[in-house]
Amino acid sequence: MDAHRLHLSASPRVGAGPLRDGTALPPPSAWEGRPLWAEIDLDAIEANVAALARRAGQAEFVAMVKANAYGHGAVAVSRAALNAGASRLGVACLDEARQLREAGIDAPILVLAHTPVEQAPAAVALGVTLTVNSTGLAGALSEAAAAAGRRADVHIKVDSGLNRYGRPADEAVELAEAVRQMPGLRVEGLFTHFATADETDKQFMHQQLREFSSAAERLPWINVRHCSNTASLLDEPDISFDMVRCGIGIYGLYPSGEVSRSSVNLSPALALKSRLARIKTLSAGETVSYGRRWTARGGEVLGLVMCGYGDGYPRRLSNISSVRLGDALVPIRGTIAMDMMMVDITSGAAGATEGAEVTIIGGRPGNGVSAEDLGEQAGTISYEIVTSIAARVPRLYTRAGRVVEFQTLNDPFPNPWPPSPAAPIHAGR
């Protein structure tokens, strides 16, 4: 193991703390950072995937793991999703696909967004399926496939009203027929993406569906048609076609407050946690943090939490949101800094001591710190809350309440926990 790599020991260290069942967490000293970590429940990921897959019936299931699996960690989540019944993985770019391939994941991977033409040889080498939006990219893929002696599968996107990537129905049909004639390529799939599937009013979604269906009917030789995401699967599973693409739902989060929550029971998989690093009592007139945006009346007890906007927590929640300390919600006081924030534990958590665990993000809506709650407070969505969690925050992966894997900023892939004294851990192995 290189000298600069972090060292993990199987023996307990000062600072180790328990999960709910008393299992020892890797201590902060294990990752040479601050007492801040994200716990990702792999059992919850698998249960969510299985429940959504049942909802999809006979349709194939794509687990969307773009943006580092919505902040949860792409490699560990991909393995869990495949174990639970997903047949494919979905990403936004070739770099994300490469990470999965280098982790040893050989499942089909679909790149759903734009890929530059010059990346065609790499896509063929990785054996991933690209979304093709032009004959230029298709031609480059055809040449790369011929040079490698391989076949490359592609999907074509119908722009049915989102007006981003893809081609209008007539152009998509023409493109599909043209690509079909290119050697080394197979047009495997046709898809679209909904703009308002997470809203109660489905009129525009149905308009998009009609546009997509008109293209699909003219291309009966394409075997894999897909348009359904988490929101449409929850509300209208009958439009699943041959495959569904689920993102936010596999992480236990509902797309919005307007979709059905009774059709599938989802469990949030992520919790962002820390420990009180310092406790201090303020005198009247003292102010807290940058800009002096909060002033003490006197006697308030504040706790230091080592989490800030550099970790992905929204700065705009300064003096607005709270963290959970035990059963109490304790409010954030002053401006959230890059690396830390202060919380008021005067009344909500009297008697708290340094080292006490706090939950910053996690749990079900209505608890004050769920991703949905924070999204509403910050004027955004739960997607942004979880995908914003920075790479420098260690991820601890659990099963049955026990930590089984561990990934830090310096680890390309998760490491097993606890490590075996006889077999020192090397990053990515």
Question: Measuring CA to CA, which residue among 22, 20, 25 is closest to residue 38?
Answer: 25
What sign for the dihedral angle of Cα 321, 364, 76, 387? negative
Burial 286-303 (b: 16+ CB within 10 A, else e): bebbeeeebebeeebbbb
Question: How does DSSP classify residue 420?
Answer: B
Q: What residue type is assigned to position 424 of the chain?
A: P
Q: What is the spatial distance between Cα 313 and Cα 311, in angstroms, rounded to a whole number?
A: 6
Q: What is the spatial distance between Cα 150 and Cα 153, in angstroms, rounded to a whole number?
A: 10
Cα 394–chain centre separation:
14
Annotated catalytic residue: which of 202, 254, 290, 397?
Answer: 290
The answer to whether residues 396 and 341 touch, using CB atoms and an 8 Å cutoff, is no
| Residue 333 token pair | 């006081």
Phi/psi at 74 (5° precision): -65, -40
For residue 397, the surrounding DSSP H or E stretch is strand 395-399
Q: What is the spatial distance between Cα 190 and Cα 418, in angstroms, rounded to a whole number?
A: 44
Cross-strand bridge partners of residue 398: 41, 403
DSSP codes joined into one string, 322-379? EEEETTEEEEEES---SS-EEEE-TTTTTT--TT-EEEEE-SSTTSSSSHHHHHHHHT
DSSP codes joined into one string, 157-218? EB-SSS-SSSB-HHHHHHHHHHHHTSTTEEEEEEE---SSTTSS--HHHHHHHHHHHHHHHT
Among this protein's residues, is 165 annotated catalytic? no
Burial 65-94 (b: 16+ CB within 10 A, else e): bbbbbbbbbbbbbbbbbbebbbebbbbbbb
Annotated catalytic residue: which of 66, 251, 273, 383?
Answer: 66
Among this protein's residues, is 290 annotated catalytic? yes
Cross-strand bridge partners of residue 200: none
Q: Look at residue 49 and give its three-state secondary structure.
A: helix
Question: Which residues are known catalytic residues?
Answer: 66, 290
